[in-house]
Amino acid sequence: MFSLLVCFLASLAQPITGTCAEKHDTFLDTLRDGETPLVRFTGKQLIMGEPDGSSFPSGGLRATHVARGYTAWDPHSPPFVLACNNGATLYIPSCFFSWDNSYALDEKIPLLRSEMALSRESMRLFQVLGDTKHTHVFMDAGLEQEFFLIDRKFYIARQDLMLTGRTVVGAAPPKGQELEDQYFGPVANRFLDCLHEFEIHCWKLGIPIQTRHREVAPGQYEIAPKFAPAILARIATCCSWKC
């Protein structure tokens, strides 16, 4: 028997389901005797993986017999490590594409292709205008997040919040957006504690939160990260659910 820290390599993808997906491969192996532990990490594991993508909705892009998918490390997005109670996982932001014809099965590949197309066409425009100094156009993004904070006891009392994440039943507010008494108002300490904990986890994931404030509706808040390359800002939203 032996005791060691188990480490995993996780391919982090953004499938077209609109959620985040992970495939974990362990670094732990054994020698031929089947008993001696060995920690092995190869470049092949880092660069590309082969998950079974048959259960992902594909919109009719592929038949089941060619449902095999691949994950390829996207070098535009930095990897990160998340620790847990019994080990740690190295997360590699990856592209997810199908075996046949390299169909994009995620939201990252279309974004990368869009960036390439926008840069290419922008450079053509620059040349028409006589600008020959620039060679590339970079796309930045800063994705704001608006959300509501409510007490847990109120959340548990509302089945619509628990099942759908939003209010489904209830009376309309007496006023519209003019109900702005709390807009940019002071934040109670218990909500500050919650936001601060969230921001710490975001910074650990490489999501630098720059602003926070109360919004128009009661219990509504907004945070915004610093502007970053679009592909990094996109992977940040994929990772933020882990907080």
Question: Three-class SS of residue 155?
Answer: helix
CA 76, chain centre distance (Å): 14
* Residue 5 reports pLDDT greater than 60: no
139 burial type by CB count under 10 A (0-12 exposed, 13-18 middle, 19+ buried): middle
Which pLDDT band holds residue 222 (cuts at 50, 70, 90)?
Answer: very high
- Distance in angstroms (rounded) separating the CA atoms of residues 26 and 183: 48
Least confident of 21-30, 48-57, 141-150, 158-167: 48-57
Which pLDDT band holds residue 55 (cuts at 50, 70, 90)?
Answer: low
Q: Comparing C-alpha atoms, which of 67, 81, 71, 66 is closest to residue 45?
A: 71
> Is the full-model pTM beyond 0.85?
no
Are the beta carbons of 234 and 216 closer than 8 angstroms?
no
Are the beta carbons of 222 and 132 closer than 8 angstroms?
no
229, amino acid identity = P
Which pLDDT band holds residue 176 (cuts at 50, 70, 90)?
Answer: low
Rounded to the nearest 5°, which phi and psi values hold at 24?
-105, 135
Q: Read off the tokens for 75.
A: 């070098």
Q: Beta-strand (E) ranges in the chain?
A: 6-13, 21-26, 28-30, 37-39, 48-49, 69-73, 80-84, 87-98, 140-141, 145-148, 209-214, 220-225, 228-229
CATH numbers and ranges of domains, the chain: 6-109 (3.10.20.70), 143-226 (no CATH)
